[in-house]
Amino acid sequence: MVFHIFRSRETRLRQQCREWFLAHRHRLLAYARQQADSMTDVELLLSETCRSVAQVFCRGGLPEPELLPYALRSIYHAAARQRARNRRRVDTEQAYARAEEPLRPVPGAEPDSGLEDVHVTLRALLRRLPPELAEVLTLRIWEELSFAEIGRRLGLPESTVRARHAGALQKMRTMLAEHNHAG
């Protein structure tokens, strides 16, 4: 009996929440579009806000007149977090793009293997790296594993994997610079 009462209350609250969102959907969507950089971000903002408002609504944490300002604040803060994530992602991608330099083939680096010059050069340089650095770089670049996945696979902390990756890239840059000056 108690379960039935609780279930009917939950069903009623869900229905009220759905009605509230239907009544305010245009305003929420317009505000999310103003705050977001792309339509994908708009969808993410709205889904995050819907979850947050539904939780508050079902807990009875706010009276209905205060739900709209709460939802708009939620969108605003979620958009700020999304912009920060996007900015970090773009900065990371640009850092990797700046780190890439045009490669010239290394003399004696398997020229008849049929691989492109870049791959031949990278393989030759990779063989010159210490094995622990070469392994991390191989897993990161060719197998496209995250730092956490590499750490789990090698039984290392993620910070160690990141440090080895950075060290490997730095050594590769140094070897490329030496090669370019020598060539």
Per-residue pLDDT tens for 133-168?
988 988 888 778 888 889 888 888 989 999 999 999
- Measured CA to CA, the distance from residue 71 to residue 84 in angstroms comes to 20
Residue 1 pLDDT > 50, yes or no? no
Q: What is the pTM of this model?
A: 0.47
Residue 167's pLDDT is: 92
pLDDT tens digits for range 52-79: 888 887 777 777 788 888 888 888 888 8
Residue 4 pLDDT > 90, yes or no? no
What is the average per-residue pLDDT within 28-49?
83
Query: What contacts 110, CB < 8 A, 6 or more positions away?
Result: 120, 123, 124
Residue 2 pLDDT > 50, yes or no? no
Residue 20's pLDDT is: 84
Residue 103 pLDDT > 80, yes or no? no
Token pair belonging to 12: 């009623």
Q: Tell me which residue of 142, 128, 137, 135 sits closest to 176, measured CA to CA.
A: 128
